[in-house]
Structure 1
Amino acid sequence: MSRESYQQQLDELRANVVDMGELVVERLEAALTALQTVDLETAQSIIDGDDEINELYLGLEADCIDLFALQQPVATDLRFIAASFKIITDLERVGDLATNLAAYAQSADQRLGLDIDVDTIGREATEMVERSIDAYEREDIEACRAIAADDDELDALCQRASETVARDLIEREADSDDGWGVEQLLDDVSRLLLTVRDLERVGDHAVNIAARTLYMVETDSELIY
């Protein structure tokens, strides 16, 4: 195979990984909207569409394996293909988390009256994924480090939200003598805590993408954990 053809394969791999990232971000944004508005139709479409993301993942995984096996890449190309291989795994898992959020939307009868800002947490997590994909596409090492730093802020938001949910549960349970009401509240609280946990994991996957990009460009493993 000519060098020109080989380079074209590498370019196509990068473009396809970016396309997968854009689709995952689109699904994540839709899932957050469905969760906030209890849009059952949108939630179901996200759940039904998870197979598409899985198929994209498997196709790109096969492309990476073919490049490893047939081209025997070294140095920069090897790091690029290996990073892409790891990044599509993180993207597939973000797609799974978007499906989780859609499922939570389906199980919610109405928007909850608890004092937490899921929308802000969701936007922060989604923007981190968007920026990580952009950093991969442009090989932007400064953006990679900024994403990792911003994860601390997201973690803090999630921690405060979880504490608020737990405090609200205690207060409402103390004021309630309705067993059924408490049981429903527990269901709602459980769903909210799972939502916050999953959004925190979205941020973690964004950091993973940034970490692999940084290593790809500079063989710097400081963000890999």
Structure 2
Amino acid sequence: MRIKFRKVLDELNESLLKLGNLVIDQFEKSEKVLRTKDTELAKLIIENDDNIDFLKEEMEYKCLKLIATQNPLASDLRRLFTTIKIIQDLERIGDYAVDLAKVSMYIPENESIDSEISDYFSNAIKKMVREVVQAYIDNNKKKAIEIYESDELIDNEYTKVFSNIMEKMNSGKISNNIAVQTLFVIKYYERAGDHINNICENIMYLKSGEFFKRKLNN
């Protein structure tokens, strides 16, 4: 029984890597679509979200089936429930890439969002997703804490960009529409960072058995 249990856990780790890569790919596409306003690419991002949802549901089913059929130990239960939470957070992060794609549809041809802004946040999120998935697979609490603390950089950049955009809008340097869409963009990235923090907290819980104060409740 334990051999079968271990085999499924290994499969879940492989699926988690795949899920993380799907999310990263979505952010790479959304980063591009914010620059190009390519409506076909935006539609593809929206369609590809189904692949993330399907994999999430498949992984959740595997976790629940293990719990129901394999009589897991307390430590195994903790890992399985933690895996489910992490899967759900990754799926939510992927949803923000879809939201970014939808923003591109509201940007007219003669206007654009500053690509330096979207590139900065996108690169940060992609790096954090890649690292946090690996930290979970490696049971690396130290790395999880490092990623958790790095989210402060995103929060600080969000505050700085928000103030800058408001100043530009109020002074007429950018249109109200571009200001609003840019604020949506940075908010989606900031929320993605919050969900990455959730994953970090779950990795810490997995190692210590203690819950950390959660930054995000949903």
TM-score (norm 2): 0.91
Report which stretch shifted further, 131-140 or 118-127: 118-127
**Paired residues of 1:129 and 1:205 also in contact (CA < 8 A):** no
Residue in 2 that maps onto 1:38: 37
The alignment status of 1:132 with 2:122, answered yes or no, reads no
Q: Could you tell me which runs of 5 or more consecutive residues in structure 1 were left unpaired when the two chains were aligned.
A: 174-181
Amino acid at match of 1:18: L
The alignment status of 1:143 with 2:143, answered yes or no, reads yes
Change (3 A) 1:37 1:212: same
1:108-123 alignment to 2 at 5 Å?
108-110=107-109, 111-112=111-112, 117-123=117-123
Residue in 2 that maps onto 1:63: 62
The alignment status of 1:193 with 2:186, answered yes or no, reads no
Q: Once the two structures are superposed, what CA deviation does each residue of 1:26-57 show, in whole Å capped at 9, x if it has no partner?
A: 11121112112323222211011111111111
Change (3 A) 1:113 1:133: closer
**Paired residues of 2:113 and 2:182 also in contact (CA < 8 A):** no
Amino acid at match of 1:149: E
Structure number, greater radius of gyration = 1
**Paired residues of 1:116 and 1:161 also in contact (CA < 8 A):** no
**Paired residues of 2:35 and 2:113 also in contact (CA < 8 A):** no
Residue in 2 that maps onto 1:178: none
3-state SS of 1:49 partner: helix
Count the aligned residue pairs. 214
The alignment status of 1:78 with 2:77, answered yes or no, reads yes
**Paired residues of 1:115 and 1:164 also in contact (CA < 8 A):** no
Residue in 2 that maps onto 1:176: none
1:1-225 alignment to 2 at 5 Å?
2-110=1-109, 111-112=111-112, 117-172=117-172, 185-222=175-212, 224-225=214-215
Change (3 A) 1:223 1:30: farther
User: Counterparts of 1:186 and 1:119 in 2: how far apart (Å)?
Assistant: 21
3-state SS of 1:172 partner: coil
Superposed displacement of residue 20, structure 1: 0.8
Superposed displacement of residue 190, structure 1: 1.4
Amino acid at match of 1:205: H
Change (3 A) 1:11 1:115: closer
Change (3 A) 1:14 1:186: same
